[in-house]
Amino acid sequence: MTKTDIATRVYNHAFKLDPIIRSLIDTDFYKLLMLQMIWKLYPQTDATFSLINRTTRVRLADEIDEGELRDQLDYARSLRLTKKEMIWLAGNTFYGRKQIFEPEFLTWLAAYQLPEYELSKRDGQYELTFHGRWVDTTMWEIPALAIINELRSRAALRSLGYFTLDVIYARAKAKMWEKVQRLRELPGLRISDFGTRRRHSFLWQRWCVEALKEGIGPGFTGTSNVLLAMDSDLEAVGTNAHELPMVMAALADTDDELRAAPYNIMKDWNRLYGGNLLIALPDAFGTAAFLRDAPEWVADWTGFRPDSAPPIEGGEKIIEWWQKMGRDPRQKLLIFSDGLDVDAIIDTYRHFEGRVRMSFGWGTNLTNDFMGCAPTAIDGLNPISVVCKVSDANGRPAVKLSDNPHKATGEPSEVQRYLKIFGQEDRVEQAVLV
C-alpha cells in the first residue's frame, strides 16, 4: 500500500499563498552595504525605482496575474528583520571584517519595512514603481525582481503534470551538474552566485548554490544572497551597484559635477569600507570615459567589476590602464558578472589566467537555466532581461549609459546630454539576453 503523510497533504492542498520572499535578507548583500551608506550619508535623498522589462516580446501583464503579484508584494511588505537575522548580521564576519554594520544602522534596520508600491498595466507590461526616500526604495530592487521572475516560472509550470515537472527539474539538475563538472577543470577558479534577482525560484537557487558548494568546493567563494549565505554557511559577496553613480549624477548641478559624480561616490564608499570591498564599477557612463578621467587613487582600489563590456575586451582595457598607472595587474582583481555562461567563464578564465586575479559572479545562467529541460519548449521558462533601476533622484531623471547601448536607461534627451559629456568611446552593441 501507499503511505501518505495526511497532514502534509491536507496542508499543501489548502495552500493560499506560497510566499516568494520570506525574509528581508533574501536579497543581495551589496544592497545592505549600499543601504548603510545611503542611511549614513544620503538619508534625505529621494529615489524612485522602476521595473523595466527589456524583453518586450514577453508581455508580463498577460503572463502574471495581477492579484498574485499584489499578494506577493504585500507579503514582502509584511516582513521585518528577525532576531536571528539581526544577530547574524551583527556577529558575522563579512569580507574578513567584523561589525561591518554599525549598531545604529542595525537598530534602524530592525524596524525597516519595504515601502509602498505603485502598480498598473500598460501595453501588456506592468508599471511597477517605488517612490520615496532612497534609503527605503532601494531595498525593493531584488525582491521585486525575484517576485516577478518566480511568478512567471510558476505561471509557466502551472498546467504541467507531476512527471513533466519531475523530469524538468531532473534535467535542469543534470544540466547544472555538467556545468559544475566543466568548471571543476579550472584549477584556480573563483566563482560565486549572483543569481538572486532573476532566479527561477528561491528553492531552485538554493539547490544550485548547494550544488556548487558540494561540486566546486573552496573555488565556490560564496553567494550574493544574504539568506542563503546565512543558512548554508557561505560567504556573502558583493559590493556596490550602478545606483550609486546614477543617483550622484542625477543630483549634479553642473556638467563638471556630473563628470566628477562617479568618483565622488567612490570617495564616500572608501570612507565607509575598505580592502576587498574597494571594487570599482566602471561602466555606468562608459568604461572608456571612466578610465580616461579617473584620478590616480582609483588605481589603488582592489579591483574592477566590468559589467557590460565583452569580458575579454573589457578586461584588457582595464589591465592596460593599470599598467599605464604603474600597477601590477597580478595584484589586482577583475570580477566578471555580465550574463555569464559556462563558455564565457572558461574562455575568460583561460584568456587571463596568470595575468590578473579573477572572480566570476554567476547570475541568471546559474539560477534560471531551463533551456531544453521541458518536453516541449515553454517560453515562460526562458529568463528575460528585467531590471529595477533608479529612474529619478530628488525629482531629477537618472541615467545609465553602460558599455552596451542596449543596457542604457533613462530619458532619451538626458541620455544624449550624458553622451555629450562622457563620450561614446568603446560602447559596443551586444544582444541582452539576461
Choose between 67 and 275: whose C-beta lies nearer to its own copies: 67
Choose between 55 and 232: whose C-beta lies nearer to its own copies: 232
Give SS3 for 357.
strand
The answer to whether residues 117 and 129 touch, using CB atoms and an 8 Å cutoff, is: yes
Complete DSSP assignment for 173-223: HHHHHHHHHHHTTSTT--EEE--STT-S-HHHHHHHHHHHHHHHGGGEEEE
Nearest to 246 by CA among 112, 122, 415: 415
Choose the binding region for its own copies from 134-142, 150-158, 312-320, 338-346 (rule: CB under 8 A).
Answer: 150-158
Choose between 166 and 429: whose C-beta lies nearer to its own copies: 166
The answer to whether residues 389 and 49 touch, using CB atoms and an 8 Å cutoff, is: yes
Choose the binding region for its own copies from 1-9, 64-72, 270-278, 417-425 (rule: CB under 8 A).
Answer: 1-9
**Nearest approach, Cβ of residue 172 and its own copies (Å):** 9
Choose between 25 and 284: whose C-beta lies nearer to its own copies: 25
The answer to whether residues 286 and 401 touch, using CB atoms and an 8 Å cutoff, is: yes
**Nearest approach, Cβ of residue 320 and its own copies (Å):** 43
Give SS3 for 393.
strand
User: Interface residues for its own copies in 18-57 (CB under 8 A)?
Assistant: 18
Nearest to 21 by CA among 145, 152, 121: 145
Choose between 200 and 389: whose C-beta lies nearer to its own copies: 200
Q: Please give the single-letter amino acid code of residue 155.
A: A
Choose the binding region for its own copies from 96-104, 131-139, 157-165, 249-257 (rule: CB under 8 A).
Answer: 157-165
User: Interface residues for its own copies in 158-177 (CB under 8 A)?
Assistant: 158-162, 165-166, 168-170
Q: Please give the single-letter amino acid code of residue 167.
A: V
Question: In terms of C-beta density within 10 A (0-12 exposed, 13-18 middle, 19 or more buried), how is residue 262 classed?
Answer: buried
Q: Which of 102, 127, 210, 235 binds its own copies (CB under 8 A)?
A: 210
**Nearest approach, Cβ of residue 179 and its own copies (Å):** 18
Choose the binding region for its own copies from 104-112, 200-208, 276-284, 423-431 (rule: CB under 8 A).
Answer: 200-208
**Nearest approach, Cβ of residue 25 and its own copies (Å):** 16
Is residue 1 part of the contact set for its own copies (CB under 8 A)?
A: yes
Is residue 67 part of the contact set for its own copies (CB under 8 A)?
A: no
d(CA 94, CA 97): 5
Half-sphere CA count of 296, side-chain side, radius 13 A: 1
C-alpha cell, 210: 548547494
Site string for its own copies, 5-24 (x = CB under 8 A): -xxxxxxxxxx--x------
Choose between 157 and 291: whose C-beta lies nearer to its own copies: 157
d(CA 379, CA 390): 28
| Interface contacts to its own copies, rule CB under 8 A | 1-2, 4, 6-15, 18, 154, 157-162, 165-166, 168-170, 201, 203-204, 206-207, 210, 231-232
